[in-house]
Structure 1
Amino acid sequence: MTGFTALVEEYRGGLLENVHYGAISVVDETGGVLYSTGDPEHVTFLRSAAKPFQAIPVIKRRIDEKHGLTGEEAALFAASHRGEAFHIDALESILRKTGIQEEELHCCPTYPLNEDAKSQRLRGNEEKRRVFHNCSGKHAGLIALSKHMGWDSQTYYRLEHPVQQEIIETLALFTGVSQEQIGLGVDGCGLPIFAVPLKSIALAYLKLVCPDLIPNEETRLAAERISKLMNNHPNMIADTQFVCSTLLKDSNLTAKGGAKGVYGIGLHKERIGISLKVSDGSEQVWPSIIASILRFIGYSNQHTIDSLYELIPNQIVNDNGLVVGERKAIFSLQG
């Protein structure tokens, strides 16, 4: 547990049942750590929290405009959609407009992550599909970019491919970590994924919402566009009952989570970036942690904080809907 501290305790019947450990980093526009708990230097994979940055090369070339995509469709380039019907309709439209065949997507066939959407597909005796995969929008964008640039679209998922090399270059620009120091792995969907210190994830999200910090004009404009797409179409980024979509309804925030408990948030007016990692990978405690961070910094939009508690209340209920316990955010941020 080196570098982690207790973030959330869960009680049942008045007895401590579970403790979620992790680390949090809050940075200013210089990349300096304003507040933290645990180790802000803890290196972790961004997983799907990298998606807005993986979409930057696609948005820089205005692939969406070249193919006449709607804002909802373009937002899927940065999404971890959960397979609701409106997601699949938009994805199928992307494939039609770009001429991409579903079989070209490197992500494996699966069922939607949203349980209701999954049940609907199963009741209809539908097979698993690649477009049901939560990363399919990202894959479609990278294939479309590869074809536009004349790169081999069949190997877009390989680390040495030009599109992946440009993504690493983009991550280095946003995080302030040199390309040589970025940790590399393979994500669940088969694409390369990247590891940097928590404070660097926070800085990347700050630059996303404060693109004036980005020296390159094309990248700066792409950051503005992808942030706007995410805020304008929040339900495309996850689904109607998920943390990312809830936060993105606040136009002052750009936020995205990733597998295994990692999360990044940029606050525009406050010009700060936030990142967190839950060591056991839990996503259920994200709302409690994020709401507590926003309260600590004196965030002015109480509605956003309340929405997080409504999404996953601190009260723990059983299968019969009876309150049987509670969860408590117990960390304190140190300056």
Structure 2
Amino acid sequence: MSLSSSFGSSQRPGVPPLEVRLLRAGITESVHRVHAVVCDKRGRVLMRAGDPQQLSFMRSALKPFQAQAYVSSGAADLAGADSRSLAIACASHAGTPAHAREAFKILWNADLETDQLQCPPPRTDASPLEHNCSGKHAAFLATCRRMNWALDTYLQPDHPLQQQVFKGVGELLGLPGAELVTARDDCGAPTLQIQLAQMALLFAHLGGSEQPDLERLSRAMLAHPELVAGEGRFDTELMRRGHGLVVSKGGAEGIQCLARMGEGLGVAIKVEDGASRAKHAVTLHLLRQLDWLTALTLEELEDQFLAPGPGLRLEVSGELRFDAMAR
């Protein structure tokens, strides 16, 4: 279903963005402006801070929807993929041996070779399996193998694989996939430029129960948060402590998206200057306002992520406001 008609209105009253301040010895050193929005599965903007129409590339927060083709094509089932394989297909991982092994397993089960991955090695002496997107690329290749699509051009926007990804995203947004704006992500795969509320809508679907393929992926991410990012990383630690209630997937340049499992609610966050520290601070601030996690869980995460160094502290001002035009 498409976004509600009120979403596109230019007459909606303004709601100020959130602000994140980096304090050094209690003195403000830097300030970040942040937009955030909450949507339901019908595309209604329920709460917001800043501009829900803010355009941005979704970057790695798109990965669960890129991995959907791996599931919907039957490639995952054909290879006997378990929940660990599905989690690594959605991952922006740390490149540890455990992460590389899971990405390799996808290739092995599809009779593919490591040198067919087109994600660049992170170092001159490294394997492409160590690239943080290797799970996504392995799933891409396994899907192409299943569908008898060309393997050497799988990253091209006009490749049947990428066209299938665009179609799937378009269906969730209620618009033709051909209308989506694409650009090359750092790993070589296409990413999409969409509105912040559209990102929240996608994650509302990810956390809902009406899309079986997406539910398999979200459940896999929650079952294996250590594969989605890595030990000590934000998405992993949030999902590990979230009691199976919150799916978290960040992207570069200040993108963070969340889904509340079983409730069909999605959150999308964009930091104007792209700072990761600001998106993490805002995520915890909003989770407290939304009451999605316990106070103890939030305190633990705040202790870990809101003090980036000795004498430093991140503070967030502002809040989500209910959208007066939602209906």
What TM-score does the superposition give when structure 2 sets the normalisation length? Answer: 0.88
3-state DSSP class of the match of 1:317? coil
Q: Any gaps of 5 or more consecutive residues in structure 2?
A: 1-13, 323-327
Q: Give the conservation status (yes or no) of the 8 Å contact 2:19–2:33.
A: yes
Q: Does structure 1 residue 255 correspond to structure 2 residue 253?
A: no
Identify the match of residue 217 of structure 2 among 220, 226, 244.
226
Deviations 1:272-327 (A, max 9, x none): 21000011211123332111111112335334423421331x33533xxxxx2321
Closer, same or farther: CA 193–237 of 1 in aligned 2, 3 Å: same
Match of 2:259 in 1: 266
Matched letter for residue 166 of structure 1 = Q
3-state DSSP class of the match of 2:258? strand
Matched letter for residue 61 of structure 1 = S
Q: Give the conservation status (yes or no) of the 8 Å contact 1:205–1:255.
A: no
Q: Any gaps of 5 or more consecutive residues in structure 1?
A: 112-125, 213-219, 319-323
Identify the match of residue 114 of structure 2 among 98, 102, 123.
102
- TM-align CA RMSD: 2.0
Identify the match of residue 196 of structure 1 among 183, 194, 197.
194
Q: Does structure 1 residue 315 correspond to structure 2 residue 307?
A: yes
Identify the match of residue 315 of structure 2 among 292, 316, 328.
328
Q: Give the conservation status (yes or no) of the 8 Å contact 1:175–1:201.
A: no
Identify the match of residue 57 of structure 1 among 69, 93, 99.
69
Q: 1:185 Cα shift?
A: 0.6
CA distance in structure 2 between the aligned counterparts of 1:104 and 1:163, rounded to whole angstroms: 15
CA distance in structure 2 between the aligned counterparts of 1:287 and 1:262, rounded to whole angstroms: 10
Q: 1:12 Cα shift?
A: 1.2
CA distance in structure 2 between the aligned counterparts of 1:4 and 1:193, rounded to whole angstroms: 28
Number of equivalences = 307
Identify the match of residue 203 of structure 2 among 195, 200, 205.
205
Among all aligned residue pairs of Structure 1 and Structure 2, give the percentage whose two residues are the same amino acid. 28
Deviations 1:158-215 (A, max 9, x none): 0111010010011112233442432211100001110111011001101111132xxx
Q: Give the conservation status (yes or no) of the 8 Å contact 2:249–2:257.
A: yes
CA distance in structure 1 between the aligned counterparts of 2:230 and 2:155, rounded to whole angstroms: 26
CA distance in structure 2 between the aligned counterparts of 1:198 and 1:287, rounded to whole angstroms: 17
Matched letter for residue 314 of structure 2 = R
Deviations 1:120-170 (A, max 9, x none): xxxxxx812211111111111111111111111111100111010010011
Closer, same or farther: CA 68–298 of 1 in aligned 2, 3 Å: closer
Q: Does structure 1 residue 77 correspond to structure 2 residue 68?
A: no
Q: Give the conservation status (yes or no) of the 8 Å contact 1:8–1:331.
A: no
Closer, same or farther: CA 4–169 of 1 in aligned 2, 3 Å: farther
Q: 1:223 Cα shift?
A: 1.0
Matched letter for residue 147 of structure 1 = R
